[in-house]
Chains A and B, each alone.
Chain A
């Protein structure tokens, strides 16, 4: 059929068009000039970060530290060749101190990043080791992830990569600029959560009823957790003003109109979104499986099966959020333990209170997403399966012989 050929072309064109619109919009939207020059230098003085290669180690006196034996401290003198920027190609000598603030043992052939700072006279140049050149390794790790995702996940894996790309780019090019320009962080976070849920779940779940159920469940789940969060933010007197960088953000807000007070809300919504989407699509999929193996299963049965699957998952998923919090604040937890800090002091500190708020309101959203998605999936699937089968949407009807497979199954 000719239709068969035109459809994919239209679809592709549509996708390409949407993509172009997205890229153009993001580019236009995210343009901004730096708020101000944070280095504050005057005249023709300048600093840049450049790549360099260690040619040789000319002097080395490095050994176990006197106090912390497991750490290597001391000095190295290295000859390096600068590979980029103003002094590209030049060989220079640098002194590398291995101490508590900077601790990298250099070896010949290694690539490093140096800060190159020139005074206006050109007579004095300070070249200091900034870090090893980590970029390539990070790209390799990302590459491995993408490759593996595609290889093991197949077409779905590739779609997941696109979904991740979309999420990342919309954070950087749309969400952050929105916040910076003074959009309400709460509204922006909810809109962003909705958009991400729609795109990600459509890409991964496909254009299907279960996807619609998952999206609906995610959006309602996030909205629900937003309500809870709002309430407890108010009760516990927490807001963006209690976050660690608020002082600087406040100064910037004076210029850009950013709403610092609502930033905490936005950050909590974003950090729980992943887990909520995760449980939403899982529950929707399993309800869909039940529905496809038993097309005439009633909404009640589908709902119960969704809840059963969800029960298994909500525990581990809530754990995911809480473990993410533990992982993120591991050092702080060790310190609290080491110093035997006072309970009132710990539980009421801004950081801990925010972390707990974040972990548990997110987990609450996960828990409530299970019945929400089960319900929407059960309703939507029974309706659509009945419509496909030409049967009125009534629960618990005996299945007619020779009923067609429902939508989701190929």
Chain B
């Protein structure tokens, strides 16, 4: 039988695999096995594609063996099940931050990337990754069939390694192990309650330490493998994005993920080295996901151009969902004017929603503030309707979610001095939460649940009339201006002397009155002085 011969071949290969490295060991270094770690896979541009990524201590062939679980017999894969990708040495900005004195250096690891296409829908697959010799454990995942709707779980900053013991938290975190246990607990509860979800979504700050490479490496391991026996992140596709903590070591973030349709638009730069962390998009069902990098917050033009490309490539997307890290609308510590990143947050709140308005984005997911905020439907920086509700139908505008800590590693307090005009619901009970989202043609539904009790924190539904055209906020071309030199460019236009600014009639009146009054006062004072002297 074909199966038997295939098995024979595989066992031969396996035997070779065991013998060869011992031989190779004579000439090359083989004292440490090239065991893969930080194994993860992301959704591809289509539902039939997945993109694998893993790290390894030395350079190998970067191979994925993947087959329908039904055809993998006692650990041996069919012969045509190997996909080879690329292995690249990784670098990190040593010391973190875009400081001119810091430079990129190799970290002694390799990133392995391989994309697998042509998968069947609603099918269980088994895979393992490795270098053709040393393999990871075997994992299984099931592809979705999002034509009839799909679901996913979203988490705010897991931030493994923050270990910030908040005085109000019931479960105090004082070590990376605590954060790891919290992360594993959330994943366990969420995935056992919703086992049929199609992917996991984390909203940045997957790791914490941004100055010490070794610390961050350990945090990545804890993030990707919080519980090695369960393999949550190897069982479900992961959509991750870059937070401010992940960004600081430069390119190092990008070596941990294999993201589809990644653009150079929106990427950040440390010391003129581009970080390969630009915006990316993917579709799932009839939803278009646009994942933006808010570390490059001021460059709205780049994000604008990226979103145009993504929307143009998917003109029929029924739902448009955007996600980024630094929350535009939240009510905890990062939202106050004295926050260390207040310039950035204020800029994002004032300007990024203009892009959401322009492209008719339905839902935005954000993190960064380790607390939960749901806004009203927002348009033009204002609530469309400031009535508290859990259900909207065929509404205008965008709803913004700021998600709470997924691991319990850190919480931020509610800030009474922050802006609250946009908020429909705020929640901070110092417990980790996760959000369960379902999307089909006509309904978006989110249920946010606290991990410790399983109670619902918030739920919200957006309905769309069946067969109606997608929620159409007309692109308003006004906020983006294509560079068209105006016909008249008079020589006076460039003058910036202050006299130039008094064009309005009211300011002239006010300033001249004020000026005259002051001159009179000065004259009076001078006369008085002169008289005194006399």
Contacts and interface: CB of A to CB of B under 8 A. Distances in A.
Interface of A: 33, 35-43, 45, 47, 51, 53, 65-68, 73-75, 77, 81, 83-84, 87-95, 97, 99-102, 107-111, 115, 117-128, 133, 135-136, 139-140, 144, 147-148, 151-152, 154, 244-245, 247-248, 251, 254-255, 331-332, 335, 339, 341
A93 B479 CA distance: 8
Contacts of A127: 481
5 contacts: A93-B481, A101-B346, A111-B503, A125-B480, A332-B417
Contacts of A123: 305, 482
A136 to B, nearest CB: 4
A39 B344 CA distance: 9
Chain A to chain B: the 4 pairs with minimum beta-carbon distance, closest first: A99-B381, A91-B486, A89-B489, A248-B340
Contact of B340 (A45, A102, A247): A247
Given A42-B264, A45-B299, A245-B338, A110 B380 contact: no
A110 B338 contact: no
Q: Taking each of B349, B386, B498, which has the highest tally of chain A beta carbons within 10 Å of its own beta carbon?
A: B498
Nearest to A75: B380
B529 A154 contact: yes
B350 to A, nearest CB: 5
B339 A244 contact: yes
Interface string B486-512: 101110011110101111110000010
B151 interface: no
Contact of B501 (A107, A133, A147): A133
A122 B483 CA distance: 8
A208 to B, nearest CB: 21
A47 B483 contact: no
A151 B500 contact: no
B478 A151 contact: no
A314 B476 CA distance: 61
B275 A117 contact: no
Contacts of A84: 494, 496
Nearest to A36: B98
A105 to B, nearest CB: 12
A255 B101 contact: yes
A147 B338 contact: no
B137 interface: no
A248 B529 CA distance: 52
Interface residues of B, number: 80
A38 B347 CA distance: 13
Q: Taking each of B349, B479, B495, which has the highest tally of chain A beta carbons within 10 Å of its own beta carbon?
A: B479
Contact of B525 (A83, A107, A117, A152): A152
B100 A36 contact: yes
Contacts of B488: 91
Nearest to B378: A99
A37 B500 CA distance: 32
B98 A43 contact: no
A255 B522 CA distance: 51
B89 interface: no
Interface of B: 97-101, 211, 247, 264-265, 267-270, 274-275, 278, 295-302, 304-305, 308, 338-341, 343-344, 346, 349-351, 354, 380-383, 386, 416-417, 419, 421-422, 476, 478-486, 488-490, 493-496, 498, 500-505, 511, 514, 518, 521-522, 525-526, 529
A136 B99 contact: no
A77 B496 CA distance: 24
A44 to B, nearest CB: 10
A124 B305 contact: yes
B301 A67 contact: no
Contacts of B274: 42-43
Given A117-B299, A332-B417, A124 B308 contact: yes
B486 A97 contact: no
B269 A41 contact: yes
A119 B265 contact: yes
Nearest to A339: B416
A118 B304 CA distance: 10
Contacts of B302: 41, 45, 119-120, 124
Given A36-B98, A95-B354, A244-B339, A53 B478 contact: no
Contact of B481 (A68, A89, A115, A125): A125
Q: Taking each of A77, A99, A111, A254, which has the highest tally of chain B beta carbons within 10 Å of its own beta carbon?
A: A99
A86 to B, nearest CB: 9
A148 B380 CA distance: 44
B416 A128 contact: no
Contacts of B478: 77, 93-95
Given A42-B296, A128-B300, 20 more contacts: A36-B98, A40-B270, A42-B267, A43-B264, A53-B503, A65-B382, A89-B489, A90-B485, A101-B349, A117-B300, A119-B265, A119-B301, A119-B302, A121-B305, A124-B301, A128-B351, A133-B501, A140-B514, A154-B529, A335-B416
Contact of A111 (B270, B489, B500, B522): B500
A410 B404 CA distance: 73
A43 to B, nearest CB: 7
Contacts of B265: 119
A89 B490 contact: yes
Contact of A35 (B99, B268, B308): B99
A47 B299 contact: yes
A352 to B, nearest CB: 12
A102 B505 CA distance: 24
A45 B504 contact: no
B494 A89 contact: yes
Nearest to B495: A83
A90 B489 contact: yes
A393 B403 CA distance: 78
Contacts of A151: 521-522, 525-526
B256 to A, nearest CB: 19
Contacts of B267: 42-43
A81 B485 CA distance: 10
A84 B350 CA distance: 23
Contact of A102 (B300, B381, B496): B381
A176 to B, nearest CB: 18
Contacts of B301: 45, 117-119, 124-126
Q: Taking each of A90, A101, A117, which has the highest tally of chain B beta carbons within 10 Å of its own beta carbon?
A: A101
Nearest to B338: A244
A110 B504 contact: yes
A102 B348 CA distance: 12
A92 B91 CA distance: 43
Contacts of B300: 117, 126, 128
Given A41-B296, A102-B350, A123-B305, A251 B481 contact: no
Contacts of B522: 147-148, 151-152
Contacts of B386: 66-67
A117 B421 CA distance: 28
A148 B504 contact: no
A109 B97 CA distance: 43
A35 B511 CA distance: 40
Nearest to B519: A147
Contact of B269 (A43, A124, A148): A43
Nearest to A99: B381
A110 to B, nearest CB: 5
Given A42-B274, A99-B382, A94 B494 contact: no
B204 to A, nearest CB: 14
Given A111-B501, A335-B417, A97 B380 contact: yes
A77 B380 CA distance: 12
A126 B483 contact: no
B268 A331 contact: no
A107 B504 CA distance: 8
Contacts of B422: 100
Contacts of A87: 483
A117 B298 contact: yes
Q: Taking each of A33, A108, A111, A331, which has the highest tally of chain B beta carbons within 10 Å of its own beta carbon?
A: A111
Nearest to B493: A89
A337 to B, nearest CB: 11
